[in-house]
Structure 1
Amino acid sequence: MDQKALLALLEERKFKELKEELGNMYPVDIAELLEEVDERQMILIFRLLGKEEAAETFTDMSSETREFLINALTDSELEEVMDEMYVDDTVDVLEEMPANVVDRLLMATDEETRVQINALLQYPEDSAGSVMNIDYVSFRKEMTVEEAILKIRQVGINRETIYTCYVTEKKKLIGWVDIKDLLTSSESRTIEEIMDTNILYAHTHDDQEEVATMIRKYGLVAIPIVDYEMCMVGIVTVDDAMIVLQEEATEDISMMAGVSPNDDSYFGTSVWRHALSRIPWLLFLMLSATVSGLLLAYYENAMSAMPILITLIPMLMGTGGNCGSQSSTLMIRGLAVGEIRFKDLFRVIFKEIRIALIVGVVLSVANGIRIYVMYQDMKLAFVIGITIIAIVCMAKVVGCVLPLVAKRIGLDPALMATPLISTLLDTGTILVYFAIVTLMFRL
């Protein structure tokens, strides 16, 4: 049923029919619906949801909508929602809320949950510990398959996933069991007999992006998280990994565009905050362009002798910047998916130089023909052609090296993306251009 039909049921006060229709919808779709309606309708619709459905919908909402609902709901209604939410989702909500709202949310949780929330909040922001879920199914190795299945029936409803279960001994992780193996094994067999001791795991302080990449690479439903004593403390599930990868991709795209990363949506961010996130990079890039201006002033006599040189500068700078951006984008993507590592530096440089020679020759021939047709000057066409090949080679090398070096020294490779590389290459282009021109024309 579409949004208009649902709202018609609401306006006609056919709450029973509306509740049935909402029960057939996915929580994420309900969350999108709530974002579109007015505040009065939002409250009415949310109160028609079942406890579990309301908790899942609450998790999928934007931070602004969640904050409004928290203030609109009664203490008992809020407590019902919080009771149904997984602890890691609760932590995610708390991290986005202002202090007064956090206090009210914590009051709606029981003491045990508050202890768990506080423990998760102690982990570094971008660590595996900050996104893990402490609700998982664990077995002892001496348990039988029958006992293990019974345990899943008892506690599985409160666990985020039961498809992968873990075997612990004195809290230390010693193996894992797939639900398929449990269901297809004899009930009398022990967990030790069917468990897999080849375990993929991560530590609590590992970078969350690396953990998410492991889940994607190995096709895991979840990955166990252990402390430095190999005691299991939680899991990171595939849905959490997808969110992490999406956030990291958003951050990389923002940095590549010269914008400070922001967790809020485009429309959920104020004009003032948008401006503040863009001004620092723009100021830096604008002031760094002063170097290019000083270089142009230095070669003022050469430009006075051959004014035509000035008209070719934008084309050369644009070519250098575009070539550098192509290489840096491919490097950042390769680093993000684990395809390229710093040890591949010289292989990458060798490959990019060969690519640059092919690209440079094609561009120089095309541009040489253009210059000869327009100015009837073969020598100028030749000089500009040589300059283009040199600039393309320089741009490709700079574009591939900087992201790799940034990754090596612990910086985000996206920092070395389009705005910064273009500015660096503008300066390099002017130096290469006038070095070749002054040499060839003896200016």
Structure 2
Amino acid sequence: MREEESMIQQLKEWLREGDFAKVRKELEPLRSADIADCMLEMEPKEVLLVFSILPKELSAEVFSHFSASEKKHLVEAFTDEETLDLLLHMQMDDRVDLLEELPANLVNRLLSLTEPSLRQEINMYLGYDEESAGGVMTSEFVAIRKDLTITEALETFRTSSYARVSSNELFVTDECWTLEGVVSLKTLLLSPTEAKVAEVMDGHYVSTTTSTDQEAVAKLFMKYDLRAMPVTDNDQRLVGVITVDDVMDVVVQEQTEDMQKMAAMTPSELPYLEQNIWSLSKHRIGWLMILMVTATITGGIISSYEDVLSQTVALAIFIPMLMDTGGNAGAQSSTLLIRSIALGQVEFKDFFKVLWKELRVGLLCGLVLALLNTIRILMISDAPLAVAIVVNISIVATVVFSKVLGGILPILSDKVGLDPAMMTGPLITTVVDACALLIYFALASLLL
């Protein structure tokens, strides 16, 4: 950390002295992500200077590591010539990501600077759903025809302008760009030079279409351990490629959204520190209002059993513990099942397996908690024996119910097309609290 701070101070000093050659020599060997980290510690004027000093291709790579708000400020500060250079040296998927993050006035400005052919291609990508395979794919890939010889195929790769950014897998098409198979560079290098590509390609490939949801694409990458995946249109023509680095961004985005939904918040793509208090409040207040209103159900249950509470005041002491235990038990199961569904490990066909497993887990956990609670009551509480029995039976019943509900609710939500994270997180606590009180007071009325 100290070495990094020392280097940043040295870079700033060279920039003040106008010794740009030393700045370039120091930064060029670094990875683009590390250069971006260094630039984040600089003043805006210094950042602009560094962008003008670095090679154009490296500048474009560094730019892709900045956040949306930082990109916006930089584009506003760049001249038209600098902006055009940046766009031309960016990969297509990074260009599209940039334009999707910027306000409309800046998008129009950037598009007006580009050639009509490039503008048309960018507009085509912008037409895809942002969360679909078409929205995350890139058009910068190397494709070879199946009727070429190995020598011709290797020459096609060498002379391609996309060879530098291409993955190890090359996609094979016919003369109409219909996807036929995939072949690795290693296979081409080790095959006889006079052989045809069709003879060495793998016709068993994994592909997707432009309309496929990005989360489904990420699952395919994980299932088949892919580094790149071809994307076709409805006529099986190759139109783009999704690489593993794009999928990593998708996975992080989907995980972030799920965490926010499970915490009863509307998802936001902006980093926390870049949101003002109004934006943060807007994303939180909706579910807070809903949960506050639904919480009146628990209040209604308590008021309807006032006569039971008035006769045995000791019952009130255990209400918070019982509600918290039920909520925590349900949250454990729902979190585990939501993650399992996201990873494709659990499907609707596993409904009864999950039900039976959570039923037994809930019973085991409930009995252990009841035993621990019995020891606690005997040691530090003077509650009547009848109350202790009611509380312990309620704990077992509540934990079993919470575990089962937390296990099956995500599966049912996913089956009907609802987001399990959105439906499960906010609902578990409210439903479990209400049911825990009903179980508790019903047993109290029956036994006391």
Q: CA RMSD in A?
A: 1.3
- The C-alpha deviation readout for 1:205-236, integer Å capped at 9, x for no partner, is 11101101211221211111112221111111
Q: Are 2:167 and 2:227, in contact at CA under 8 Å, matched by a contact in 1?
A: no
Query: Residue 272 in 1 paired to residue 281 in 2?
Result: no
Gaps of 5+ in 1: none
Please, which of 401, 426, 433 is the counterpart of residue 426 of structure 1? 433
Q: Which runs of 4+ in 1 moved over 3 A?
A: 156-160, 416-419
Match of 1:397 in 2: 404
Query: Residue 353 in 1 paired to residue 397 in 2?
Result: no
SS state at 1:375 partner: coil
- Letter matched to residue 166 of structure 2: T
Q: Are 1:162 and 1:179, in contact at CA under 8 Å, matched by a contact in 2?
A: no
TM-score (norm 2): 0.96
Q: Are 1:349 and 1:397, in contact at CA under 8 Å, matched by a contact in 2?
A: yes
Structure 2 CA distance, aligned partners of 1:238 and 1:275? Answer: 35
Q: How far has the Cα of 1:339 moved from its partner?
A: 0.9
Structure 2 CA distance, aligned partners of 1:396 and 1:291? Answer: 21
Match of 2:416 in 1: 409
Please, which of 133, 136, 147 is the counterpart of residue 131 of structure 1? 136
Query: Residue 387 in 1 paired to residue 385 in 2?
Result: no
Q: Are 2:27 and 2:35, in contact at CA under 8 Å, matched by a contact in 1?
A: yes
Q: How does 1:117-266 map to 2 (within 5 A)?
A: 117-157=122-162, 160-169=165-174, 170-266=176-272
Q: How far has the Cα of 1:377 moved from its partner?
A: 2.5
Q: Are 1:203 and 1:226, in contact at CA under 8 Å, matched by a contact in 2?
A: yes
Q: How far has the Cα of 1:312 moved from its partner?
A: 0.7
SS state at 1:60 partner: coil
Match of 2:25 in 1: 20
Q: Are 2:366 and 2:399, in contact at CA under 8 Å, matched by a contact in 1?
A: yes
Q: Are 1:200 and 1:223, in contact at CA under 8 Å, matched by a contact in 2?
A: yes
The change in CA–CA distance for 1:121 and 1:159 in structure 2 (over 3 A counts) is farther
Structure 1 CA distance, aligned partners of 2:224 and 2:140? Answer: 22
Q: How far has the Cα of 1:159 moved from its partner?
A: 6.1
Q: How far has the Cα of 1:372 moved from its partner?
A: 2.9
Aligned-residue sequence identity (percent) comes to: 40
Match of 1:32 in 2: 37
- Letter matched to residue 432 of structure 1: I
Q: Are 2:208 and 2:229, in contact at CA under 8 Å, matched by a contact in 1?
A: yes
Match of 2:53 in 1: 48
Q: How far has the Cα of 1:316 moved from its partner?
A: 0.2
- Letter matched to residue 105 of structure 2: N
- Letter matched to residue 137 of structure 1: V
- Letter matched to residue 348 of structure 1: V
Structure 1 CA distance, aligned partners of 2:70 and 2:52? Answer: 14
- The C-alpha deviation readout for 1:120-170, integer Å capped at 9, x for no partner, is 111222111111112221111110111111111111546632411111122
- Letter matched to residue 45 of structure 1: V
Gaps of 5+ in 2: none
The change in CA–CA distance for 1:206 and 1:91 in structure 2 (over 3 A counts) is same
Please, which of 302, 308, 313 is the counterpart of residue 308 of structure 2? 302
Query: Residue 64 in 1 paired to residue 69 in 2?
Result: yes
Structure 1 CA distance, aligned partners of 2:23 and 2:402? Answer: 60
Q: How far has the Cα of 1:35 moved from its partner?
A: 2.3
Match of 1:364 in 2: 370
Q: Are 2:137 and 2:240, in contact at CA under 8 Å, matched by a contact in 1?
A: yes
Structure 2 CA distance, aligned partners of 1:32 and 1:106? Answer: 28
Structure 2 CA distance, aligned partners of 1:108 and 1:405? Answer: 50
Match of 1:321 in 2: 327
Q: Are 1:372 and 1:381, in contact at CA under 8 Å, matched by a contact in 2?
A: no
Structure 1 CA distance, aligned partners of 2:75 and 2:224? Answer: 39
- Letter matched to residue 62 of structure 2: T
SS state at 2:171 partner: strand
